[in-house]
Amino acid sequence: MTHETVPQDDALHEITLVVNGTVRRARVPARRLLSDCLRHDLGLTGTHVGCEHGVCGCCTVLLDGRPVRSCLTFAVTVDGAELTTVEGLAGPGGRLSPVQRAFAECHALQCGFCTPGFLCTVTALLRGNPAPTREEVVEGISGNLCRCTGYQNIVKAVHRAAELLAEET
């Protein structure tokens, strides 16, 4: 419910993104948020929008491997980038990734709305730190809000995912 008058710029910009390994093209206005581009232009609705002001972390995706808030990113600014969304986390043949499996096993999701953001955040976290301490886990997920789980099972799932990753590599 923005009430400021926004100068309209209707010019469309052609951008190319590599999303989950597939080259995708879209024509978007300069103000199109990356979250909206993914959801509405590319139809990848797994990335969720919880606040549109960069606090809740639901919209987190991996941009060239790093977690970013797609609601604070203009799509045109990531032209040419490689993106991973929740739809791209599972392995070949759709086998769930260790992080996804650990979340299911540990009951680390309830309504599931914040889950894609957590999965992306945790995927990157464990890539950088395959055996985090509890403090590192809590710190690592402290940019994502969950209103359902109280986080306890999410913390447990991150440790479990680290175990699964260690077993499988």
User: Does position 4 bind other proteins by CB under 8 A?
Assistant: yes
Query: Exactly one of 13, 18, 24, 52 binds other proteins (CB under 8 A); which one?
Result: 52
**Binding residue for other proteins (CB under 8 A) from 86, 122, 162, 165?**
86
Give one DSSP letter per residue of 53-82, joined into a string. SSSS-TTEEEETTEEEEGGGSBGGGGTT-E
- Considering only residues 15, 19, 37, 48, which one is a binding residue for other proteins as defined by CB under 8 A? 48
Taking CB under 8 A as the binding criterion, the range among 11-19, 40-48, 124-132, 161-169 that sits at the site for other proteins is 40-48
Q: Kindly give the interhelix angle for 98-105 and 152-168, rounded to the nearest 10 degrees.
A: 140
The minimum distance between CB 133 and other proteins, in angstroms, equals 14
Could you give the CA distance from residue 87 to residue 94 in angstroms, rounded to a whole number?
10
CB of 97 closer than 8 Å to CB of 103: no
Q: Which strands, in side-by-side order, build the sheet including 22-29?
A: 22-29, 12-19, 82-84, 60-63, 66-69
What's the full length of the chain, in residues? 169
75, 109, 122, 164: which one binds other proteins (CB under 8 A): 109
Sites of contact with other proteins (CB under 8 A):
1-6, 8, 10, 29, 31-32, 39-40, 43-53, 55-56, 58, 85-87, 89-90, 94, 96, 100, 103-105, 107, 109-116, 119, 138-139, 141-155
